[in-house]
Amino acid sequence: DIVMTQSPASLAVSLGERATINCKSSQSVLYSSNNKNYLAWYQQKPGQPPKLLIYWASTRESGVPDRFSGSGSGTDFTLTISSLQAEDVAVYFCQQYHSTPDTFGQGTKLEIK
């Protein structure tokens, strides 16, 4: 199984500041045949199901604010929120879908400082 490791486990950022969450996979999730990274990011607010933010490591899902961006390739990935808003308080998960089981990271809890 591919192990996904997120850091930090929790993060407190001031409103309007940048938040950065890291995700590392135990093996590459890049398919050389199509040069795509099989990596997604989700946001989960309390009492709600997760919501897709980013897929293919850097493609924003329709309707997701452009302050959210994803980057990285191979085994190292980053989710960046450029200017934190109050509504961004949530737990964020990365997931690889390169090979089953499609494993998730353990989550990063984002709070307001």
Partner 1 sequence: EVQLVQSGAEVKKPGESLKISCEGSGFRFTNYWIVWVRQMPGKGLEWMGFIYAGGSDTKYSPSLQGQVTFSVDKSISTAYLQWRSLKASDSAMYYCARAFDTSATYIDYWGQGTLVTVSS
Q: Per rule CB under 8 A, is residue 78 in the interface with partner 1?
A: no
Q: What is the dihedral angle through the alpha carbons of 10, 13, 18, 22, rounded to the nearest 10 degrees?
A: -10
- Closest separation in Å from C-beta 58 to partner 1: 13
103 touches partner 1 by CB under 8 A:
yes
Closest separation in Å from C-beta 111 to partner 1: 16
- To partner 1, the closest distance from the beta carbon of 14 in angstroms equals 26
Closest CA to 113 of 16, 8, 7: 16
Q: Are 84 and 48 in contact (CB under 8 A)?
A: no
What is the rounded CA–CA span in Å between residue 9 and residue 80?
Answer: 15
Binding test (CB under 8 A) with partner 1, winner from 1, 17, 76, 111: 1
Residue from 19, 42, 58, 68 binding partner 1 (CB under 8 A): 42
Given 50, 72, 75, 77, the residue binding partner 1 (CB under 8 A): 50
Binding site for partner 1 (CB under 8 A): 1, 38, 40, 42, 44, 49-52, 55-56, 61, 93, 95, 97, 100-107
